[in-house]
Structure 1
Amino acid sequence: MVERGTVLGGRYALVAETGRDRAGVLWLAEDREAAGLRVVVRLPHPELLGDATYAAGLRREAGVLGALDHPNLARVHAVGEHEAAEESGEDGPSPRVVYLVTELVDGRRWDEVRRDDGGTLPAERALGLVAEALDGIAAAHERGIAHRGLTPSNLMLRADGRVAVTDVGVAPAVPRADRAAPAMTGHPGRVDLATARYLAPEQAEGRGSMPASDLYALGAVCHELLTGATPFTGSTPAEVMARLAAEPAPPLPTTFPEPVRAFLATALARRPEDRFPNAAAMAAAAREAAVGLPRRHRQPGPVARRRRMSLAMVAALAIVAITAALVVYAAAPSGEPEATAPEGVGASATAADGGGEREPDGERSELPSSTASDAEETTGLPGTPSSSATDGEQSPGDGDDEREPGGGEQSEEPGEGGGGAASGGGNGEDEPTSPPDDGEPGPPSDCGGDRWGQITSVADGLPIGLADENAEPGSALVMGGHSTYGWLRTDSYQDLDAFLVCDADGPALALDTSSRAILLPAEVGWELDDSAPSGAHYLRAFDQCLTNNGAGQQLTLGTCVPGDARQMWRLPA
């Protein structure tokens, strides 16, 4: 008998039963060989293990998945057999129990995510979640494994914002008898109402499962995320499955954008051959449908807003900078061929270009650095170095009337503007440097505003910049990137703040569907948490914090950790 306290394979101690489904029983367990690591143990129904085909398939697929390390699939740790009589002491043949050990995912089920967000999700977020799930399903399909039982209960959103698909390959085939059975629950292998609503027509008709069945299931899940209901409903599994076998899926309401409606129409096609050719193609289509959605269909919290930066404006700025440089070059004396761009225009320098020492990527700065113009705020901050910026870039202050762009001129004195003093190892007694003189250059041409400046990390003093010189929507934002344009801070949306590149018409600091920092052509509101020390702030969205992942690395959202300097930011005043 398997019960609490049973140790499977001499290693996995069962702690508590956590659920049952048509494939078996789920247990929370501790891995005694991994310092008590919490895992999930699945014990298939004995009736299913009597099916030699199912038992052999479970062992084969668990072995394949165990060797597959994909960020969107819950990891399979082991598959084994346990003789129950080893602990019960009963006479007679020892019943053998097959078990599957998988990762315990720290996160929320998708039905919980939808409920917590008020019953539905914006199209952008729903499509982003589905695309990530499809990435994991595509990896399983490539190895010949179909899920066969996708529902919101085995689709997880991890605490770090990534999607994880669980229970891949464990669901049994749908019995043909289920189409007419009046009661389905409580019988091993039978379909309950929660499962029936996500089945594909071919499964409801008893024709078996295939990779295309998983695509239909994710289409049904996406429909529910968007509307709050699955395409087919009913009071019993038999009623739902009868509708699946006889009716086409209803289209999305016309209030949804046409790309989203077309995506769902293909995903929920009755015939498998009319759906997307594979999971990878469906993932690409989901991401494409999410591009350029109207404001009300974008993901909230950051809250999508109104302003857009014309791509023509970006191009015009670049042309002005190049033309000005050519004019200066043409006017230069013959003995001085080198051209210089006008101050603040096209002057772009990455943090990686400068010298000096810096902490390795990923390490937290216990003694954070500050910008020069934060002098009054940072007095007394433990370990504040005297240098004002890192690697040859100076950052504008948090309260000065005139600020210097992140890519401006370096300090005239060696060491005052470089990274050599930004080691973070001071004793807290160094005095900060003075703010820049009134003669220092301000924002680049055509950029600026009353609250223009840089967003710099307390951990290493680096500014948030562009991965390349183009301030276009979709551009990645990295630590120490091209910071010439700077950021204009606004607070025009209730108590939220937004950060726009260059000026009030620039694209905004935002997030993609994988919670990575990018520019979007709309103003986005961030919640500012001023509980960080010495005037710094945490930037919050989705109850997570914007995180510095090291020089040259794209910023992401991460679990908020009080005191983590990588999540503390100095902002334009």
Structure 2
Amino acid sequence: MTPERWQKIDALLQEALERAPAERAALLASACDGDDELRREVESLLSFHAQAEDFIETRPFKVAADLFSGDEAESLVGRVLGVYNIERELGRGGMGEVYLARDTRLDRAVALKLLPALYTTDPERIRRFRQEARAASALNHPNILTIFEVGESEGLSFIATEYVEGETLRELLASGGLKPARALDVAVQAAGALAAAHEAGIVHRDIKPENVMVRRDGYVKVLDFGLAKLTEQTSGEANARVLTQHSTNPGVMIGTISYMSPEQARGQKVDARSDIFSLGVVLYEMLAGRAPFEGETQSDVLVAILSKEPPPLSAYAPAAPEELQRIVSKALAKDRDARYQSASEMLADVHELRQELEAETRRVRDSARPERAALTRGVAGARTAGDGGAALG
């Protein structure tokens, strides 16, 4: 879809939102003038807008109550779950609680994620989740968090993974955007992880800064492969899926919605290109210090993802090379056929650009060495002359 087409859709959408619901049908009939596709697009956006407002008003409170009712609300520190001795809580959110635990068989630290009952009472849903999580556990890539076990003990479903010390990309971005070289380094590693997963037939579905861990040495680990399948609704719940498929913190949906691809926002089937869009959003945010699609409400963000182009990256990250801006723009194409068609393709571009920036940095550093050496010799010569003069005096 062309930018001009999106502008037309957006203009009509804004006009419709200013009208009372009862007046919108007449407006669309007149403004669309037989353009059925235009009308369908605007009606779809209006529907998403209504669903989002509904969700804000009612859904978060019920979900929050359901998530932490029962045993999951109680800390498990000090308990033994299977072979895991739970030592301390690392965090909790909509996808459950995470603990630091000790694997008593192998005497190693693990991260133990307990899944909330809300997501595990549906046998079909948990079956799909286990199937995908076990497939994800077979992934062997240095930038993918290793899954050791998917199991159940004492009525609690859990995932045991390697324990990574570091901070999430979200925490890293708390102080603002990153320099292009640092952002590219993270993007190269994340794209490598996605490429490996996609080759194995696994789509992440929930790429965002919270799911990218950066170790103290700069090494990146992509988290939660397979977990997004847990929150996917059964067929017939497509509309609910639009707003709940990727909820990580009930009641605070903006951060999650912001990374959805247009096809996710529409409740359509996703493929690897959806992950590419989400990685494009993350890369934009790493450089700009803000997400490309923002709004005062969830529905505003959905509308932006579906119908608006992000602000030029150069406005927030003037130091970003033009090639990097091109990479981000291609990843964020609303038409998935216009995006990178594979994570490997995007990986090749970000990797090549990172090498170019590293080479340029070396050239600048090497060219500065003779100047520093000459300056050092000059200072040393002046000191020698001064010392000699003092001796003669």
State if a TM-score over 0.5 links the two structures: yes
For 2:300 and 2:274, the matched residues in 1 are separated by: 19
Q: Closer, same or farther in 2 for the Cα pair 1:76/1:186, shift >3 Å?
A: closer
Count residues with an aligned counterpart: 293
Q: How does 1:419-498 map to 2 (within 5 A)?
A: none
Quick check: 2:177–2:290 contact (8 Å CA) kept in 1? Answer: no
Q: Closer, same or farther in 2 for the Cα pair 1:244/1:252, shift >3 Å?
A: same
SS in 2 for 1:167: coil
For residue 132 of structure 1, report the CA deviation from its aligned partner.
0.9
Percent of residue pairs identical: 33
Q: Closer, same or farther in 2 for the Cα pair 1:59/1:259, shift >3 Å?
A: same
Deviating more after overlay: 126-135 vs 254-263: 254-263
Q: Closer, same or farther in 2 for the Cα pair 1:277/1:164, shift >3 Å?
A: same
1:100 has 2:171 as partner: no
1:27 has 2:99 as partner: yes
Quick check: 2:113–2:158 contact (8 Å CA) kept in 1? Answer: yes
Match of 1:166 among 223, 230, 241: 223
Quick check: 2:280–2:331 contact (8 Å CA) kept in 1? Answer: yes
Deviations 1:400-428 (A, max 9, x none): xxxxxxxxxxxxxxxxxxxxxxxxxxxxx
For 1:113 and 1:42, the matched residues in 2 are separated by: 22
1:263 has 2:327 as partner: yes
Q: Closer, same or farther in 2 for the Cα pair 1:489/1:19, shift >3 Å?
A: farther
Q: How does 1:62-461 map to 2 (within 5 A)?
A: 62-83=133-154, 96-115=155-174, 118-171=175-228, 172-173=231-232, 176-177=239-240, 187=250, 192-253=253-314, 255=318, 256-293=320-357, 305=364, 308=367
SS in 1 for 2:313: coil
Q: Closer, same or farther in 2 for the Cα pair 1:257/1:160, shift >3 Å?
A: closer
Residue of structure 1 equivalent to 2:118: 47
For 2:291 and 2:252, the matched residues in 1 are separated by: 16
User: What TM-score does the superposition give when structure 1 sets the normalisation length?
Assistant: 0.46
For residue 449 of structure 1, report the CA deviation from its aligned partner.
7.4
For 2:242 and 2:142, the matched residues in 1 are separated by: 36
For 1:5 and 1:236, the matched residues in 2 are separated by: 41
Q: Which amino acid in structure 2 is aligned with residue 4 of structure 1?
A: V
More strand by share: 1
Quick check: 2:95–2:248 contact (8 Å CA) kept in 1? Answer: no
Quick check: 1:173–1:209 contact (8 Å CA) kept in 2? Answer: no
User: What TM-score does the superposition give when structure 2 sets the normalisation length?
Assistant: 0.66
Quick check: 1:135–1:280 contact (8 Å CA) kept in 2? Answer: yes
For 1:286 and 1:169, the matched residues in 2 are separated by: 25
For 2:205 and 2:144, the matched residues in 1 are separated by: 15
Q: Closer, same or farther in 2 for the Cα pair 1:489/1:194, shift >3 Å?
A: farther
Deviations 1:312-338 (A, max 9, x none): xxxxxxxxxxxxxxxxxxxxxxxxxxx
Quick check: 1:81–1:97 contact (8 Å CA) kept in 2? Answer: yes
For residue 130 of structure 1, report the CA deviation from its aligned partner.
0.4
Q: Which amino acid in structure 2 is aligned with residue 135 of structure 1?
A: G
Greater relative contact order structure (CA < 8 Å, 6+ sep) = 2
Q: Which amino acid in structure 2 is aligned with residue 267 of structure 1?
A: A
Quick check: 2:150–2:159 contact (8 Å CA) kept in 1? Answer: yes
For 2:374 and 2:220, the matched residues in 1 are separated by: 32
Quick check: 2:248–2:256 contact (8 Å CA) kept in 1? Answer: no
For residue 208 of structure 1, report the CA deviation from its aligned partner.
3.9
Quick check: 1:179–1:242 contact (8 Å CA) kept in 2? Answer: no
For 2:371 and 2:313, the matched residues in 1 are separated by: 45
For 2:292 and 2:223, the matched residues in 1 are separated by: 23
Q: Closer, same or farther in 2 for the Cα pair 1:490/1:240, shift >3 Å?
A: farther
Runs (5+) with no aligned partner, structure 2 = 1-70, 378-393
Residue of structure 2 equivalent to 1:38: 109
Q: Which amino acid in structure 1 is aligned with residue 205 of structure 2?
A: R
Match of 1:17 among 60, 85, 89: 89
Q: Closer, same or farther in 2 for the Cα pair 1:15/1:211, shift >3 Å?
A: same
Q: Closer, same or farther in 2 for the Cα pair 1:28/1:304, shift >3 Å?
A: farther
Q: Which amino acid in structure 2 is aligned with residue 230 of structure 1?
A: A
More helix by share: 2
Query: What root-mean-square deviation, in Å, do the aligned CA atoms of Structure 1 and Structure 2 show?
Result: 3.3
For residue 134 of structure 1, report the CA deviation from its aligned partner.
1.0
For 1:491 and 1:129, the matched residues in 2 are separated by: 37
Quick check: 1:17–1:28 contact (8 Å CA) kept in 2? Answer: yes
For 1:229 and 1:206, the matched residues in 2 are separated by: 25
Residue of structure 1 equivalent to 2:79: 6
Bigger Rg, structure 1 or 2: 1
For 2:351 and 2:185, the matched residues in 1 are separated by: 7
SS in 1 for 2:156: strand
For 2:339 and 2:376, the matched residues in 1 are separated by: 45
